[in-house]
Structure 1
Amino acid sequence: MKLRPPASAASTLQKGFISCSLPVISLGLVLLLGIAYAVLQYVVIPKIGDGVGEETSSYTLGQWEGVIECEATGPSSALEQPRTILVEDGSIVMERGDIEEFYRVTDDGTTIPRDMSLRFEWWHGVVRGSKVIVQGWYTEGGDRVKPISFDGAFEEGGLYMEGKRGPRKCTISAHPVG
């Protein structure tokens, strides 16, 4: 004859196993997510500010004049406008509109609100060798702040980028002044 533990003892053992297992499983998941985040942050995802001081022989430092061309979207027609871009050692910047007020309101571009009544376009990025990555914001046609994201390269004496300005797909081409 087999001895069986009372039903309450088996139930208690199962509850003990579950209550002990959940914290261990949770801790394991937290550690796994932490490791994945660290790998993405430090190995895979490029950061603004990396690449400063890298080789600059493929482009000219200083002021560049260019044109942004964006496709039509919804009720808005296609866009073609001039842009003045500043290329520094390892970085690229474009500022247009009420930039002093933009810097004041956004704590030097570090805190971007959802809506702003001032009119501006501001983007900044990094240069790595001949590659360029740009991020920024702008307002146009209302107070909603919209994102800007471009990437491209310095090629054949010019700067060529493509990406998005708000909902529109755009390209930028520029050449050094002088």
Structure 2
Amino acid sequence: MESFTYLLVEHQIIRTERLILRPITLADAKSMFEYASDDENTRFVFDTHTSIEITRQTIAEYFVASPIGKYGIELAETGKFIGTIDIRIDPMNRSGCLGYVLNRDYWGRGYMVEAGRALLDLAFQTLQLERVCSMHDVRNPASGKVMQRLGMSYEGTLRKSRYIKEEFVDDAYYAILKEEYNAK
């Protein structure tokens, strides 16, 4: 079997019915800043960006310096960049972890579930992973609903599992196994 890195590079562009998942570049800074500078949008995930330069640095240091498994979410019809989704692979355990953020102007339209399904397809069909998990701050139940729509099951809550925005937060963990995915 090919390496996970090779397979992810081979699948760095993924098309769905309404979306294109593709590498993130500095050209995405303006669109990313639209949501990264919005306190409501970043409330549970990362520090709000106070300048477009911070967004550009984040793109360079996180997305461009290590792009494997990280995707920009673009609307196929308009080319608008509306968020990001990534899968972090643990090769030893043949597992992955999804993370995502979406511009709140596009919440409630099923885009994140569509992007998540595309990455689950990649994870289980192409990468042959055994398990994919995700987590959310317990104060953000909408993110948990996305995980449920992806077929993930709640596995538990880790208390004070992350320190973000000067406080410890509890994270709810969800996961789906290969056999559960294949049964759907």
| TM-score with structure 1 setting the length | 0.28
Determine which structure has the larger helix proportion and give its number.
Answer: 2
Q: Give the structure with the higher percent strand.
A: 1
Q: What is the TM-score of this pair, normalised by structure 2?
A: 0.27
Structure label with greater radius of gyration: 1
